Structure 1
Amino acid sequence: MKSRFLAFFMLALVLLTLIPFLLFGILSVRTFEARLLPEVENQTINSGLSLQRRLNLAIAFSGGLESLRGVEETLDATRSFSAGMEFLALTDPDGEILYLSANDPDSVAETLSKLTDPAPMAMAERLFGAWEKVTGRPLFSPIEMSGRRVGNLLLSSLPLGRDPGSPDGFLHAGVNIEVIDALTRDIWFDIVTVVIAVALVAIEFLILIYAALIIRPLWMIEFLTARLLVKDLRFVP
């Protein structure tokens, strides 16, 4: 029973040692994404603004999205100058795709349908949300962007037409962010390596502490008790 308690005690100490490193890793990755994802979105929106202005002008003269000509060629040309742009799509207000330029056209409709789905919340985000409810303060600043991440794509949308409150349609852009995911995986690999190294060092220290402060005194008590039972007082100070 005593040995089991000591084992649990040592395990608890190791976990307490590792928790700060894990929290540091989560916060580092979150901060990394919070800086890069909005930057990628800004570049995407900047690429789409000129196209949005041209489309708005064409809509004003033609009277609607359905009557436009040469749209897909224009989308192809815009995509060719934007690195990582997986697709550009024009949809009506109901989300039906009217014009499309994409590397994988068959997957675009499914991707755009997820724009209306509730964003999945990771376990870490639920834990940090609970922290904010208890303390009244967020653990870190939220990622400020209007786009939505779906898989390895960052989706951004711009309204088309003169009235943003009642648009004639939308220009959707999907940018591949696998590079950010790869960098995030590298950060996690480095953090896990550090955590494992710290865990091994912590276990070694705990073994030394356990041997010096617990095992040796217990052995001395047992030894003195055995000597006293045979009335051997040579080791009694």
Structure 2
Amino acid sequence: MIKTIAFDADDTLWVNETYFRDAEDQFCNLLTEYISFEECQKRLFEMELRNLPLYGYGIKPFSLSLIECAIELTEGDVSTEIISEIIEIGKAMLNAPVNTLDGIENVLQQLSKKFKLVVATKGDLLDQERKLKKSGLASYFHHIEVMSDKQPENYTKLVNHLDIEPSSFLMIGNSLKSDVIPVLEIGAHAFHIPFHTTWAHETVDFEVKHELFKSFDSVEDILNDLM
């Protein structure tokens, strides 16, 4: 039944979350004069969640949250030197190498012989296009969809754009919250491949059980199921 397979990008095709965690550590180390490391991480997470509806996802929104959080945590006392360092943290993330995950190119090579492949990701359009180009994987995909969010309506819009039925669509990703649950809600298939680091906002506290859902330890394991 499956004809089109969509892959999430960050932490499914290439490493991403690790850079955010490193940036958080750098940020909180800059502010140890004002707040403890642990409390800084907690307050930054709260700031990110507050800003999501306005800024969306990606490195640039994250960088704005870092600056805003620094101003808030220091009650406006943050120095221009620290602000400059925070800006450099964001720039370093944008310029970071794109390291594809083990086995992913082989999987794309095999699946592209039988299925139409697309990328379905969220975040900043320019940044995701940059990473896809640097990854060397762009040629495997027929379509790139950068979403503002991953809700059922976003996936419905994508399926309609591809002119396919939900029952012939499979989404593969590392986030149960974004790549699995909303996809199952529209009647499509979903495969979960965990990444070792997951943003707290993307976690769920229940087990997913559904006839159209499968979980795999490795991306290469899906070949036994699909080929």
Larger fraction in helix: 1
- TM-score greater than 0.5 by the shorter chain: no
Normalising by structure 1, what TM-score? 0.28
Please give the TM-score of this superposition, normalised by the length of structure 2.
0.29
